Structure 1
Amino acid sequence: MELISPADAIFLVGESREHPMHVGGLQLYRPPEGADKDFVRDLYQDMLTHTEFQPTFRKRPATILGGIANVGWAFDSDVDIDYHLRRSPLPQPGRVRDLLELVSRAHGSLLDRHRPLWEAYLIEGLNDGRFAVYTKVHHALIDGVSALKLAERTLSEDPADTEVRVPWDLPPRKREKPDVDGGVLARLPSLSAAADALGSIASLVPSTVYLARAALLEQQLTMPFGAPKTILNVNIGGARRVAAQSWPLERIRRIKDAAGVTINDAVLAMCAGALRAYLLEHSALPDKPLIAMVPVSMRADDEDDTGGNQVGALLCNLATDVADPAQRLTAISESMSGNKQVFSELPKAQALALSAVNVAALGLSMVPGYVNAARPPFNIVISNVPGSRKALYWKGARLDGHYPLSIALDGQALNITMANNGDNLDFGLVGCRRSVPHLQRLLGHLEDALKELERAAGA
C-alpha cells in the first residue's frame, strides 16, 4: 500500500455526486486517406492488446482496518481492460452535438472507487467520418496539464507511424530535478495548491507592506473576494454539459499584433466578450466586472526551461462592464500587466505562495453554506494550456481537435480551458447542466467576440 498525499486526498475527500473530481480530454481524429470501414474497429482491437498498466492506472483508494478511507492507495494486479476501455457508437445522424451529449453524460458520472480511477471511450459514428476518444482520470491521480501531455505522448508527428500507443501503457518519463523555489504550484489550476499554500504563507510576511501598497494604493494587484456574485457562482448539481470548438491561432495573433497586447490578453478578451453576451442574454450581467483566475508562467524569458514548474495564479479584471471591445481589451491587458509587475518584483517563492492563496480560495467552496453566504473569490477559472505546435497523428489519423475538460465546483459552475493544437486553439468548456443553461451558446458568443475584437483592432 502507498499513502495518499494530503494534496491528492483533497480530491477524494471533496468528491460527491454533485462534485465529480476527474479531469478529462476529448480528442477528435480524421481517419487517414484510404482507411476502410473497419479502421476504428481494428483500432479498438489494437488498444485491447495493451494489457500492461503503469502504476498510476492501477491505483484505487484502499480501505484500511475495515473502514478508514482516503488514506492509502491499493494497486490492482488484474485490471479489467474491457471495463475501462469502451467502444461507444453515436446515435444517428452522428452530429457533433451527439458527440458532445455523450461526453457530457460521461463527464458528469463518478468513477468507480472499487476500480482504478480512469476510463477511456473510443467513439465512432460521426457523419463526417471522424472518430473521437474521450478519457477521464481522477484528479487524485493526475492533473489536467499532465493528462494532456500524457495523451500527446501517444501521438506522432509522422503520419506514416502506424504504432498504436495508449496512455496506460506508456513508459514513465524521468522526472527532472526541481528548482529550490519550485513546486508550490506545480499542478495549477488545482486544489492541490491549497494544501501547499499552508506551508508557504509565512513567506509572504516580509512583503505584506509592499502588497498592501500595490493592492490598496496603486491599484495594481487584483485581490480575491472582490468579484461580484453572478449566476455562475452558485451551488451546482452533479450533471455536466460540455462544449468544444477550435479557432485558428492566426486570427488571435493578428489581434495581438494590431493591439500591442499578448496572445493571452486577446484570448481573455475573447472570453470576456462571450461571458458579457451570455450574461446579458440571461439578464444577469452585474454592474461590476467579472474577475477570472488565470494561471500564468512565472519563468523569466531568459530562464532555462528545465527544473520544476514555475506557475502562478493571477486574478484578472475581465472588464465585462465595458461595452466597447477595444476598451475592454485595453483594460484586460492593463490588469494582467499590472498584476504581473507586482508578482515580478516579489521573490519567486513569495510570488508562488501568493498565487497559492488565490488557488486556496477554491477550497472554501467545500465549507457548507459558504457559497450562498459570501462573495466569490473570483467568478471563473480561464486556463490556457501549452500544447503541441505541430500536426499530430495516431495510427495515421490526424488529430483535428484536442479539447481539455476540467472540473466545475460549487461557486464555480463554469470552467474554460483551452490548449493550442498545431495552428488552432482548442476550447473546452465544462458547466453545471442546471446552473449554466444553454452552455453551447457560449461557442457562438466566443466567435462573435473574436469578430468584434478583429474589427476593433483592424486585424
Structure 2
Amino acid sequence: MPVTDSIFLLGESREHPMHVGSLELFTPPEDAGPDYVKTMLDTMLSHTTVDSTFRKKPQGPVGSVGNLWWADEGDNVDLEYHVRHSALPAPCRVRELLTLTSRLHGTLLDRHRPLWEMYVIEGLSDGRFAIYTKLHHSLMDGVSGFRLLQRTLTTDPTVRDAPPPWNLPRGEKKPDSGGGLDLGSVFGGLRRTVGEVAGLAPASLRIARTALGQHDMKFPYEAPRTMLNVPIGGARRFAAQSWSLERVNAVRKSAGVSVNDVVLAMCAGALRHYLTEQDGLPDAPLIAMVPVSLRDEKKVDAGGNSVGVTLCNLATDIEDPADRLSAISASMSQGKELFSSLTPMQALAWSAVNMSPIALTPIPGVVRLTPPPFNVIISNVPGPPKTMYFNGSRLDGLYPTSVVLDGQALNITLTNNGGNLDFGVVGCRRSVPSLQRILIHLETALAELEKALL
C-alpha cells in the first residue's frame, strides 16, 4: 500500500471520516414506470463481477505504523451490503435529501469490508431520484473517483444497459510476462527515483527563489485564526447547489482570468459574508488550500492518490470584488508557476511541506494553541462537459462530498456538469452553524462580481 494511501487510513477516527464521494441527482426517462428505480437497482446488482478496486480492504494494522498492504475480498464481496435502496418519506424536497446525505456522510466505512458504499434514494416529490456514493480516500482521490463515475455515464439517453462502477470494462493491458519479477522495470524505476531525489535540491532552490521574489506566495501558518479552524466532531452537514457556467465564463472573460480564479473569488466573497454574519471575519486574508492533480492523461483513470496542494490568498481583507479577484488570480499564478517547474515527485514533496502541519493535529492542544496552516479547503474537480445519462435518466446534479479535517471544519468542492458548476459544501455540524447560508453567499458573491465587471 503506497504511503499516500495509507496516510488516509492512519489519520481516520470517528471524528474524522476519510471518505469522499458524490450525490448524483437524476430525472428518470419519460417512459419510466413506478418500479423503474427498483428494476434499475436489481439490474445493477446482477453485475456480480467486481473490479479489484472495489474488492480491496485494508490488512493489519501493524502497531502504530498503520496499514501497510491491501487484502483482496475475492468473490466474497456482498453487493447487497454495499449497495442499498433507500426512500425518503414522500412527498419530499431536496432539502430532506441533503439532510439524509449529511447523516450518511458522517458515518465510517467498515474496514472489515471493501471500503465503499452506494445508496440509491427515491421519494422526491418531483419524481427524481438520487445516488449517493462514498469511497475511502485511500482507494482513490477525487479526480480518479469522478473519472470512474463518468465511465458509467453516457451522452446517449437511449442506452439502458450501462454497467455499475464496480463492473466497468477495463482498458487493454500489456501481455503478462508470467508473473515473475521484471528486473528491468525494477532497476528502471530505481534509476528514475534516484534522479527525482537528486532533483529535489535544485527544486528547493527554485521554490526559495519564487517565494523570495513574489510576495503573493503563501506558506503554512500565515493564515489567521477563525471559527473554522477548531477541533471538529464526527457529524456532518452537507449543502449543494448549481450555478450556470455561462455566468462564470462571462466574469472570466471580462477579468481575463481562469474559471478557477472566478470560483475561488466566489468562495472568498461567500466566506467574507458568512464570517461577517457570524461576527468572525479576521483582518488578515483567509488562506485556502487548493488541491492540484498531478496525474497525466495516461494515469488519470488509475486509482490511489496523486494530488499536490498549493496555498492561495483569498484576499478576504479586500472589499472590492474585482480587486479581490485580481489578488486571487495573482496568488494562484505563483502556485501554477512553481508547479510547472517541478516533476511529480518534487511537486509531492513541496505539497508535503504545505500539508505537514496537518500531521501534528492529533497531538492534544495543537489545533487550539497553534495558528492554522490554512483556513479552508477549496477543490475544483473536472467533471463531464456535456449532459450525461445513466440508464436513460438525465444527470441533473453532480455534487461532490469531501473530507473535513481537525482544525479545518469546512470544505468546498465543485465540479463542472454540462453547462453548470455543481458545488458541494461539507462542514462539521457543530463548528459551522447555518452552513446552508454559504450557498446564499456564493450567489451574492457571483452577483457582486457580475456587477463590478460586466
Alignment RMSD (CA, Å)? 2.7
Mapped to 1, the partners of 2:78 and 2:322 lie a distance apart of 54
Per-residue deviation at 1:215?
A: 2.4
Per-residue deviation at 1:114?
A: 1.8
Does 2:25 correspond to 1:28?
Answer: yes
Does 2:282 correspond to 1:286?
Answer: yes
Q: How many residues align?
A: 431
Mapped to 2, the partners of 1:242 and 1:307 lie a distance apart of 31
Which moves more between the two structures, 225-234 or 6-15? 6-15
**Cα displacement string for residues 364-395 of structure 1 (whole angstroms, at most 9, x for unaligned residues):** 33333321121111111111111111111011
Aligned partner of 2:382 among 376, 379, 386: 386
Write the mapping of 1:99-114 to structure 2, written as runs, cut at 5 A.
99-114=97-112
Does 2:263 correspond to 1:262?
Answer: no
Per-residue deviation at 1:445?
A: 0.6
Mapped to 1, the partners of 2:451 and 2:8 lie a distance apart of 43
| Residue of structure 2 equivalent to 1:39 | 36
| Residue of structure 2 equivalent to 1:60 | 57
Mapped to 2, the partners of 1:375 and 1:110 lie a distance apart of 29
* Cα 1:355/1:62, change in 2 over 3 Å: closer
Mapped to 1, the partners of 2:100 and 2:124 lie a distance apart of 12
Per-residue deviation at 1:338?
A: 3.1
Contact 1:204 1:354 in 2 (8 A): no
Which moves more between the two structures, 104-113 or 84-93? 84-93
* Cα 1:347/1:30, change in 2 over 3 Å: closer
| Residue of structure 2 equivalent to 1:238 | 234
**Cα displacement string for residues 397-452 of structure 1 (whole angstroms, at most 9, x for unaligned residues):** 00011111111110111111111111111111111111111111111110111111
Which moves more between the two structures, 227-236 or 58-67? 58-67
Per-residue deviation at 1:354?
A: 1.9
* Cα 1:69/1:274, change in 2 over 3 Å: closer
Mapped to 2, the partners of 1:286 and 1:267 lie a distance apart of 21
Which moves more between the two structures, 15-24 or 312-321? 312-321
| Residue of structure 2 equivalent to 1:412 | 408
Aligned partner of 2:124 among 123, 126, 129: 126
Contact 2:214 2:334 in 1 (8 A): no
Contact 2:231 2:368 in 1 (8 A): yes
Gaps of 5+ in 1: 177-182, 184-195
- TM-score w.r.t. structure 2 length? 0.88
* Cα 1:10/1:311, change in 2 over 3 Å: closer
Write the mapping of 1:218-367 to structure 2, written as runs, cut at 5 A.
218-296=214-292, 305-306=297-298, 312-344=308-340, 350-367=346-363
What residue identity is the alignment partner of 1:253?
A: N
Mapped to 2, the partners of 1:23 and 1:400 lie a distance apart of 20
Does 2:46 correspond to 1:49?
Answer: yes
Contact 1:46 1:164 in 2 (8 A): no
What residue identity is the alignment partner of 2:19?
A: H
Contact 1:201 1:353 in 2 (8 A): no
| Residue of structure 1 equivalent to 2:4 | 7
Per-residue deviation at 1:201?
A: 7.8
| Residue of structure 2 equivalent to 1:136 | 134
- TM-score w.r.t. structure 1 length? 0.87
What residue identity is the alignment partner of 1:21?
A: M
Which moves more between the two structures, 353-362 or 400-409? 353-362
Mapped to 2, the partners of 1:219 and 1:67 lie a distance apart of 40
| Residue of structure 2 equivalent to 1:189 | none
Mapped to 2, the partners of 1:105 and 1:21 lie a distance apart of 15
Per-residue deviation at 1:122?
A: 0.2
